[in-house]
């Protein structure tokens, strides 16, 4: 089994080298796709090895390429179930997205540089995934954040794109600060940078959770993710599906078993899922709805980890990569076909003009809603059954249930808006592609449908539990109720809910004003402290003190002289 581990590790390392060579050589888009296809073939071999490892009773191992290179940390590659499955899924999704990018922005003057940036972004994400210690993970963490800024602001002539990239950097810098504090805790505790259990996880987990929340766009850090849609559609597809936003969830799955903070993690995930779904139902921008759906799904993943179902959360991460990449690519095709119109009110009959993309959009929305026997149904069904069988906070369960209803609601909202014509949009359709040209959409489509059955065997044997019929059909009831709410949302949209959700609950202006006022208060205290220390205490204070001391010394000296003269006279 150790031979398989080292072989998988060498294959993973070889693919990282291939990504760098392809990126640095500035090859054409076609050759880039060929190279990523090669990566997919090797990923198939890794999948076979993963199957053998899992059913052979082996959990994985560490491939080390050095010993104590810096700060006593070696270059470790962790090869286990999470690493191999995520590496395979990210390779397949990236393959499809790069093909989509070749047809979407292939006419751009700097397409070679754009492909190189995407490959470097994928390289740092893979470094994060295969990292065997926190220091190596931090390198991938920072690389992903830096390249996300470059890719979101790719169209630098657009003011909104530049502003969105800066906002993403600022929010992620807060999380990076937490990550650096966490690394400092590891360094000073003397436990090392390994991903295993250590004492620093107990008292420094708050800072690590701060980094995870910022990277995975959890509540209080969620505004940067919808605004990141200003970048090119291939960037949004790669960013939202299987790379940067799930990096925090992936790290949380790695370390959550070593800490006792499940309640906090579950609460953060439930609030994020609820808020993301609520904001999604009030948007008219096609991409904004899909972006807030990503926030809601990320909250669902964190919530599942907080419940203790790490395997289910990881399973949903993999399925989310497939259906969310497909939804983003389909939305890009539809928007491009309708002369770059993104307003859902002007995209009526969009599915009828392009039936293939419309079918894939309905299917991807069905997976996200948890339609029975699609991949999304497996995780949501198990999570809801686990809720009925455990001792959990009922308010958290209420937030989770409402967020699932919101998911069905905004998915039905998208489908309804694309089917119903409001008579506003144009009827000219541009750039409709043939069946073969849309082949990059079929890979995520097949895996989004069949992936649940294929990967279910890897989750292991769960303890058998007998539930009542009402609990068993609960997911179906929630699905039907959410679909009904979505239909009502399309036909009779509540202005109060829609208006409040359209403005995102006024979260951005309130938080930004609060940050400004907080900065002003900090500036006032800084100015007051500077005046107190630099003006009153140091210059004036020292002069006053020395003058008093000098006066006292002079009086003491004169008094001493007088006493001496008086004594001398006697």
- Tens digit of each residue's pLDDT (9 = 90 or more) over 380-430: 777 777 776 655 667 777 888 888 888 888 888 788 777 765 544 454 444
99 within some domain: no
77 within some domain: no
Phi then psi dihedrals of residue 80, to 5 deg: -145, -170
Q: Please tell me the number of Cα atoms within 13 Å of 360 on its side-chain side.
A: 28
Name the most confidently modeled range: 62-66, 210-214, 386-390.
Answer: 210-214
Using alpha carbons only, what angle is made at residue 190 by residues 187 and 196, rounded to the nearest 5 degrees? 90
Name the most confidently modeled range: 62-66, 229-233, 320-324.
Answer: 320-324
42 within some domain: no
What's the pTM value of the predicted model, to 2 decimals?
0.80
- Tens digit of each residue's pLDDT (9 = 90 or more) over 244-274: 888 888 888 888 877 777 888 888 888 898 8
Average pLDDT rounded to a whole number, residues 117-141 = 83
Give Cβ neighbours of residue 289 (< 8 Å, ≥ 6 apart).
280, 283, 344, 410, 413, 414
Give Cβ neighbours of residue 136 (< 8 Å, ≥ 6 apart).
73, 75, 76, 127
What's the start-to-end Cα distance of the chain, in Å?
107
Per the prediction, the chain carries an average pLDDT of: 73
Strand partners of residue 73: 70
CB-based burial label for 235 (10 Å; 0-12, 13-18, 19+): buried
Higher-confidence residue of 128 and 52: namely 128
557 within some domain: no
* pLDDT tops 60 at residue 16: no
User: What pLDDT score does 110 carry?
Assistant: 74
Strand, coil or helix: what is 561? Answer: helix
Number of domains in the chain: 1
* pLDDT tops 50 at residue 435: no
Give residue 147's domain range. Answer: 119-503
307 within some domain: yes
102 within some domain: no
Higher-confidence residue of 368 and 478: namely 368
Paired tokens of 292: 């807030």
Strand, coil or helix: what is 428? Answer: coil
Rounded Cα distance between 510 and 67, Å, is 50
- Tens digit of each residue's pLDDT (9 = 90 or more) over 543-553: 777 777 777 77
Average pLDDT rounded to a whole number, residues 495-508 = 57
- Tens digit of each residue's pLDDT (9 = 90 or more) over 19-45: 555 444 444 445 555 555 555 555 555
Q: In percent, how much of the chain has pLDDT > 70?
A: 67
Q: pLDDT band at residue 2, thresholds of 50, 70 and 90?
A: very low
User: What pLDDT score does 496 carry?
Assistant: 44
Q: Please tell me the number of Cα atoms within 13 Å of 401 on its side-chain side.
A: 17
Rounded Cα distance between 109 and 169, Å, is 26
Rounded Cα distance between 361 and 419, Å, is 11
204: DSSP letter: S
User: What pLDDT score does 187 carry?
Assistant: 78
- Tens digit of each residue's pLDDT (9 = 90 or more) over 468-495: 666 667 667 777 777 777 667 666 654 4
180 within some domain: yes
25 within some domain: no
Average pLDDT rounded to a whole number, residues 351-375 = 78
């Amino acid at each position: 089994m150790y031979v398989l581990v080292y072989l998988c590790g060498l294959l993973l390392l070889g693919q990282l080298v291939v990504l760098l060579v392809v990126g640095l050589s500035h090859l054409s888009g076609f050759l880039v796709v060929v190279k990523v296809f090669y990566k997919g073939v090797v990923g198939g071999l890794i999948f076979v090895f993963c199957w053998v490892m899992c059913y052979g009773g082996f959990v994985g191992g560490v491939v080390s390429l050095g010993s104590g290179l810096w700060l006593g940390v070696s270059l470790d590659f962790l090869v286990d179930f999470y690493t191999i499955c995520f590496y395979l899924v990210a390779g397949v999704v990236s393959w499809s997205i790069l093909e989509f990018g070749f047809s979407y922005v292939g006419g751009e003057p700097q397409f070679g540089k754009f492909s190189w940036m995407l490959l470097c972004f994928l390289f740092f994400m893979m470094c994060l995934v295969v990292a065997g210690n926190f220091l190596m993970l931090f390198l991938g963490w920072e690389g992903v954040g830096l390249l996300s800024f470059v890719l979101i602001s790719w169209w630098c002539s657009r003011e909104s794109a530049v502003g969105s990239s800066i906002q993403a950097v600022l929010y992620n810098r807060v999380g990076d600060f937490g990550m650096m504090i966490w690394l400092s805790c590891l360094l000073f505790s003397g436990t090392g940078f390994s991903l295993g259990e250590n004492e620093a996880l107990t008292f420094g987990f708050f800072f690590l959770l701060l980094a995870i929340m910022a990277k995975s766009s959890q509540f209080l850090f969620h505004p940067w993710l919808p605004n990141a849609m200003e970048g090119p559609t291939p960037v949004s597809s790669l960013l939202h599906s299987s790379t940067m936003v799930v990096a925090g969830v992936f790290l949380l799955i790695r370390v959550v078993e070593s800490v006792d903070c499940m309640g906090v993690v579950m609460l953060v995930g439930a609030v994020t899922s609820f808020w993301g779904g609520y904001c999604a139902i009030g948007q008219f921008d096609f991409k904004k709805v899909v972006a807030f759906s990503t926030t809601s799904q990320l909250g669902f993943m964190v919530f599942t980890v907080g419940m203790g179902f790490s395997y289910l959360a990881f399973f949903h991460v993999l399925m989310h990569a497939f259906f969310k990449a497909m939804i983003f690519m389909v939305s890009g095709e539809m928007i491009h076909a309708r002369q770059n119109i993104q307003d859902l009110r002007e995209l009526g009959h969009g599915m009828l003009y392009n039936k293939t993309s419309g079918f894939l959009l309905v299917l991807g929305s069905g997976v996200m809603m948890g339609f029975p026997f699609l991949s999304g149904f497996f995780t949501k069904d198990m999570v809801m059954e686990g809720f009925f069988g455990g001792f959990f906070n009922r308010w958290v369960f209420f937030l989770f249930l409402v967020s699932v209803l919101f998911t069905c609601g905004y998915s039905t909202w998208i489908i309804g808006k694309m089917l119903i014509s409001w008579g506003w949009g144009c009827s000219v359709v541009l750039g409709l592609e043939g069946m073969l040209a849309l082949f990059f959409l079929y890979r995520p489509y097949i895996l989004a449908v069949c992936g649940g059955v294929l990967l279910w065997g890897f989750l292991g044997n769960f303890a058998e539990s007998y539930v009542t019929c009402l609990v068993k059909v609960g997911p179906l009831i929630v699905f039907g109720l959410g679909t009904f709410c979505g239909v009502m949302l399309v036909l009779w949209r509540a202005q109060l809910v829609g208006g409040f959700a359209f403005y995102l609950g006024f979260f951005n202006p309130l938080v930004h004003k609060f940050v400004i006022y907080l900065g002003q208060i900090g500036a006032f205290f800084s100015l007051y402290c500077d005046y107190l220390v630099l003006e009153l205490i140091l210059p004036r204070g020292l002069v006053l003190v020395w003058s008093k001391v000098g006066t006292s010394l002079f009086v003491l000296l004169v008094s001493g002289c007088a006493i001496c003269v008086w004594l001398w006279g006697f």
